[in-house]
Structure 1
Amino acid sequence: MTENLQAVHLYSGIPWWALIPMTTITLRSIWTLPLAIAQRKRIQKQSTLKPLVAATNPVLKMKLAREVLRQKKETTRKTQQESRSSSGQPTDEQKVFQALQALKANRVANLKYEQIVLMAAKETRKRQKKLFSDHGVQMWKNMVLPMFQIPLWVGMSFTFRDLSGWSTWDAIKNKALDPSLYTEGILWFPDLSIADPWCILPVVLGAISIFNVEWTFKTLELMKLTIRKGNRITIQDSLANVARMSVVFMMAISLHAPTALVLYWISSQVFSLVQNIILDLVMPISYTPNRRFNISVQGKEANNIIM
């Protein structure tokens, strides 16, 4: 990858400060953008199917609750009948059969509310998995994009690190693999082999990255069918906090990283942010009335009627 990038730079004559963003946009457009579009279409289909599955959850709870009540009544009735009937002794096989039936009935009759909720949730997930499989939009397919995007990001990061000669924390000892990096910067960072002397690029990287994180998790929030109640921490909140902490970690690294590498990270984050915004506007995945900036579809339609 390093030699290929040097060859492109040599034959094109494009300075590194422009070639790095252009390379990022080209690779992301060819490598990950088609996968992102395919994933967005798949998530849209999943979003239309989720309400169908979610609607069955209350029905399952009600059926389980009714079954519990029925089993309780049946157990009480059988107990009363057995206490009244004193004629004849049951055989051993009949005793075993009656014991198994009583055990099964007691298990159902003694179900608590938490157990009913858990059983209904398991059945709902099972039905969702089958429904997604029937429509060819299995959840595991959503991992295809990260499986392609992460290796690309890691590989390009190592490429620009090697080009910049960033092998130690001592900038004096580092020697750029391509000498043109010393002079093909722009504005306040003419030397791309050293860290940003004014620390502006790390701040820009952090701002774009945190905006990208917040935009992404806002999109996930809009996908929810129900309104969040209380301040209970969810898995999504934990993932969002981890993503925010990773942004802080990346900013700390970028303070010492060569400008060429930081420029690649910024270009990649800008591409991701623009891609997410365009996809959210052109191919929205939210099936709830909620939209961004807390604007609802009903409110928008009401405004149109008034106008």
Structure 2
Amino acid sequence: MEKTISTRRTRILDQNYVMAKLENLKPEMDELVQELKKETAYAAKRFGWDEKQARLMFNQSARKIWKELIIRDNCHPFKTSILLWVQIPLWIAMSMSFRNMASMMPHQDAAAQVLFMELSTGGFGWIPNLTEVDHSLILPVAMGITNLIITEVNVLSRHQEGSKLQNIATNVFRVISIAVIPIAATVPSCVTLYWFTSSMCGLAQNLAMMHPGLRQLCGIPQSPIQRENPYQHLWTQLQKKMTKKRKKDGKN
């Protein structure tokens, strides 16, 4: 588990670094696009391009410019998704490992029996046996709520209204956060505890990486998406959202 958290911590720093670099490229890209529009309009008149051909040449040139910029600053957008592609296999592997330990799989040898005994007697609080499910549902519900909070934090920290695709993705994550609760209620408590711990680490890291001082300490460059008071902004956005919802409910 410590290795998983360490890997995630490193990847989230890389992700924030690349995102900041990409944001800092946008003003430069906007200026180059404006120049490109003028050059394309001039070339269209000189060479007699129609609108379709002019748009095609503009798009090709714009893509080439953007590619050169991200190569220059070594901040390809794909790098922002590496955390996801690394985390998912690790999450699956760790979940299967805990499940196997709680079931003495795949071989019920001496080592498996020792691990099983440690889990069955090394519980805490309301879960003395980590090989059994959490009948109180505290861990499954806590994990679901934590995942919902992570989703809402991402929504509230946006700098502009989400696109249609982003809103769809947000609703999908909300549904998944709720749907995983009954699943977590049917697996051994050690698996649910790992899921909950992973979610809490993710929430803590997301909140921590909003802090300007920590971002500077980690070598993440300043960008337009960085706020001086990010936590105050989250609270303000939450209040606005709740007020808007109350007004909407009042009208209904």
Q: Does residue 268 of the first structure (1) align with residue 198 of the second (2)?
A: yes
Residue 270 of structure 1 aligns with an amino acid whose one-letter code is M
What is the alpha-carbon distance in structure 2 between the residues aligned to residue 279 and residue 154 of structure 1? 25
1:187 positional shift: 1.8
2:50 to 99, 109, 112: 109
Aligned to 1:203: 141
Could you state the TM-score of these two structures normalised by the residue count of structure 1?
0.60
Check conservation: 1:163, 1:176, Cα contact below 8 A.
Answer: no
Q: Does residue 251 of the first structure (1) align with residue 188 of the second (2)?
A: no
1:63-119 Cα offsets, whole Å, 9 max, x none, are 545665x36xxxxxxxxxxxxxxxxxxxxxxxxxxxxxxxx73xx33449xx84x76
Aligned to 1:287: 224
Aligned to 1:56: 32
Check conservation: 2:15, 2:80, Cα contact below 8 A.
Answer: yes
1:156 positional shift: 0.7
Check conservation: 1:164, 1:178, Cα contact below 8 A.
Answer: yes
Check conservation: 2:143, 2:195, Cα contact below 8 A.
Answer: yes
Check conservation: 1:165, 1:176, Cα contact below 8 A.
Answer: no
Could you state the TM-score of these two structures normalised by the residue count of structure 2?
0.72
Aligned to 1:142: 80
What is the alpha-carbon distance in structure 2 between the residues aligned to residue 249 and residue 140 of structure 1? 29
1:245 positional shift: 2.5
**Structure 1 unaligned runs (5+)?**
1-23, 72-103, 168-174, 297-307
Aligned to 2:110: none
Residue 269 of structure 1 aligns with an amino acid whose one-letter code is S
CA gap of 1:266–1:287, structure 2 versus 1, over 3 A, is same
1:42 to 18, 29, 44: 18
What is the alpha-carbon distance in structure 2 between the residues aligned to residue 266 and residue 181 of structure 1? 17
What is the alpha-carbon distance in structure 2 between the residues aligned to residue 131 and residue 35 of structure 1? 22
Alignment of 1:1-307 (within 5 A): 24=1, 26-61=2-37, 63-64=39-40, 70=45, 105=48, 108-111=49-52, 116=55, 120=58, 123-165=61-103, 178-219=116-157, 221-222=158-159, 227-228=160-161, 233=164, 235-281=165-211, 282-283=214-215, 287-288=224-225, 291=230, 292-293=233-234
User: For 1:32, what is the secondary structure of its paired residue?
Assistant: helix
More displaced 10-residue stretch of structure 1: 203-212 or 157-166? 157-166
1:128 positional shift: 1.8
CA gap of 1:57–1:272, structure 2 versus 1, over 3 A, is same
User: For 1:55, what is the secondary structure of its paired residue?
Assistant: helix
**Structure 2 unaligned runs (5+)?**
106-112, 238-252
User: For 1:178, what is the secondary structure of its paired residue?
Assistant: helix
CA gap of 1:119–1:289, structure 2 versus 1, over 3 A, is farther
Structure with more contact order per residue of length (Cα contacts < 8 Å, sep ≥ 6): 1
Aligned to 1:299: none
Check conservation: 2:18, 2:77, Cα contact below 8 A.
Answer: no
CA gap of 1:133–1:289, structure 2 versus 1, over 3 A, is closer
Check conservation: 2:102, 2:131, Cα contact below 8 A.
Answer: yes
Check conservation: 2:20, 2:225, Cα contact below 8 A.
Answer: no
CA gap of 1:288–1:200, structure 2 versus 1, over 3 A, is closer
CA gap of 1:232–1:269, structure 2 versus 1, over 3 A, is closer
1:208 positional shift: 0.6
CA gap of 1:241–1:119, structure 2 versus 1, over 3 A, is farther
Aligned-residue CA RMSD in angstroms? 3.3
What is the alpha-carbon distance in structure 2 between the residues aligned to residue 182 and residue 294 of structure 1? 42
Residue 287 of structure 1 aligns with an amino acid whose one-letter code is P
1:179 positional shift: 2.6
